[in-house]
Structure 1
Amino acid sequence: MDLLALADFTLVARHEGFGRAARASTRPKATLSRRVAELEASLDLRLFERGGRALKLTEEGRALYARTSRLLLEMEEATAAVASGGEKPRGRLRISAPLLFSQIAMGKVAAEFALAHPQVRLEVTTEDRAVDMFEEGIDLVIRVNPAPDESLVGRAFLHDRLVVVAPMGLERPAKGAPVPAVVRSAADRSGWNLKTAQGPVTLEIEPVLGLSSLIMVRDAVRAGVGAARLPISLVSHDIADGTLVTWGDVDAPDIALWALYPSRRLLSARVSAFLDTLKRAFPQGTFEELAAYVGR
């Protein structure tokens, strides 16, 4: 396949038109049009819809652009790194992170990264869903307890665990009596299985409030509405100062936050630098470090 034709296709797709691409690259518009047409002929695919004023990618064109744009960018960066005698983080870095971590820590992590690497344009989106990194152009994702995925590599950088906490004055009820509970979903009515010093305990719950954010759940528990299951990093300060009490650990796998990137790509300087930022923020990866990092 002609790499120059791929590069010209990517240029036109990025600028959404032959005229704009020609002006940006100072190359003849006719040359760009000819090379894209040759690429379409070699692939036996139509990559652009050419009707009207706007030039739009076809479905096949979008799929090709999603892949070639990243590969060509890596080639450009590698060439620039060799020419400059060393690879420095620069360019665009897109990260997807889960809601809770974004709310309590990502702003500070992102700020530290931006100050250390001013030539990188960092963009962070908040997604609890498993984004398609290849289709959506994401360089790195942070996921909670991710399922094995051969297309991704990375490491766990933080560990946490769930506990049941309650406001001072709300006593753990006798066996069989329901607990007024603040839950992530009002439809959640299953019991809570706990690990305590006295052995396993199952608590029946009566949801009194359903909220979509764990930050809101914690604040409702602080206000005295009921008990809740929460990451200990989110409530360790409240437990330490006696605002909340813990009834035990939830009998569930510990929480692990992973930073993942595509295995088929070279590890870029941007991604490597962000991984280093996470390592400096959480050197041991414990919930105590996260709680201390976030503060009150």
Structure 2
Amino acid sequence: MDLLALADFNLVARHGGFGKAARATSRPKATLSRRVTELEAALGLRLFERGARNLKLTDEGRALHQRTSVLLTELDETAAAIASGAEKPRGRLRISAPLLLSQTAMGKIGAGFALKYPEVRLEITTEDRAVDMIEEGYDLVIRVNPDPDESLVGRAFLHDRLVVVASPTLRRPAAGIPAPGVVRGIGDRQTWNVMTAKGAATINIEPVLVLSSLIMVRDAVRTGVGAARLPISLVSHDLADGTLQHWGDIEGSEIALWALYPSRRLLSARVSAFLDYLKQAFPNGTPDELAAYIGR
């Protein structure tokens, strides 16, 4: 198999078209088209469905892209490492991270990593959905309590839990009477089961404010408009200085943040370096460490 033709095929597949790939790499569109056509002829397979206005991978093309793009990346990294005489982190590193961690910590994490490894071009995007690492070209994803995935491996590097908090100006209602609540995403009446110093309890919530971000929820609950469920790392400073009061811990609300990467690839130097950097930033992975890292 012609590796140059295979590389050009992956280039076109990654960019979603001959024209886009040509513009991104300053390569002639005709050359890319010819190379892909030659590869299709050599394999006896159609790799792209060519429409009048768009280009789409066939099932065979998608399988070839998934299985070879990673291998070509490893070849490039190996060649670069041999040329430099050391396995030094370099090149592009794409990471997907959830919204709250991105808003509170990933800017600082990214900046520190970039200063330590200036030859790595770090790109961090915010996604709460489970992105497809291979299809979307990510090297590493950070997920909250991820479902088991046989195609991914990784490690939990942070732990957190949910607590119910409210402003000291908001009185906790008697049992059975709903409290005003600030909630994320769903505005229906809710029941929160909590553990307190006195034992298990139930808090009925009547939402008065529905917001799409936990940062917004925290800022709102500080005003006294209602109670809210929030990660302890996000409100520990408010609890310590009395800005917020603690109504209880949500039962079964343990949160684990995982750094995941494809299991079928060798771990690249840049991914390994980022994992080590996370370990240095959060050596024990506790909510207190995250709260201290976030600061006020």
Change (3 A) 1:76 1:177: same
Corresponding position of 1:112: 112
Q: Which moved more, 1:123-132 or 1:7-16?
A: 7-16
What aligned pairs does 1:116-155 form with structure 2 within 5 A after superposition?
A: 116-155=116-155
Corresponding position of 2:275: 275
Corresponding position of 2:83: 83
SS of 1:220's partner is helix
Identity of aligned residues (%): 73
Separation of aligned partners in 1, 2:226 and 2:220: 8
Corresponding position of 1:97: 97
State the TM-score, normalizing by the size of structure 1: 0.89
- Aligned-residue offset at 1:170: 1.6
Q: Which moved more, 1:186-195 or 1:88-97?
A: 186-195
Corresponding position of 2:215: 215
Corresponding position of 1:253: 253
CA contact (8 A) 1:47 1:57 kept: no
The count of corresponding residues between Structure 1 and Structure 2 is: 290
Change (3 A) 1:25 1:206: closer
SS of 1:142's partner is strand
SS of 1:87's partner is coil
Change (3 A) 1:37 1:255: same
Question: Per-residue displacement from partner, 1:26-83 (whole Å, max 9, x unpaired)?
Answer: 9xx77x666533320233333356788x9x6432346644553332121111122123
Separation of aligned partners in 2, 1:249 and 1:50: 56
- Aligned-residue offset at 1:5: 3.3
Corresponding position of 2:197: 197
Corresponding position of 1:286: 286
Separation of aligned partners in 2, 1:269 and 1:177: 56
CA contact (8 A) 2:158 2:285 kept: yes
Separation of aligned partners in 1, 2:289 and 2:21: 53
State the TM-score, normalizing by the size of structure 2: 0.89
Question: Per-residue displacement from partner, 1:195-237 (whole Å, max 9, x unpaired)?
Answer: 1121110111110100010000000000111100000000000
CA contact (8 A) 1:66 1:137 kept: no
Corresponding position of 1:58: 56
Unmatched runs of 5 consecutive residues or more in structure 2: none
CA contact (8 A) 1:175 1:203 kept: yes
SS of 1:130's partner is coil
Structure 2 letter corresponding to 1:222: R
Unmatched runs of 5 consecutive residues or more in structure 1: none
- Aligned-residue offset at 1:246: 0.2
CA contact (8 A) 1:221 1:227 kept: yes
SS of 1:191's partner is strand
CA contact (8 A) 1:96 1:124 kept: yes
SS of 2:266's partner is coil
SS of 2:131's partner is coil
Corresponding position of 1:187: 187
- Aligned-residue offset at 1:257: 0.4
Separation of aligned partners in 2, 1:288 and 1:83: 43
- Aligned-residue offset at 1:24: 6.0
Separation of aligned partners in 1, 2:244 and 2:148: 36
Corresponding position of 2:230: 230
CA contact (8 A) 1:167 1:221 kept: yes
Separation of aligned partners in 2, 1:213 and 1:198: 31
Pair 1:162-2:162 in alignment? yes
Separation of aligned partners in 2, 1:228 and 1:88: 46
Structure 1 letter corresponding to 2:57: E
Change (3 A) 1:179 1:17: closer
SS of 2:190's partner is coil
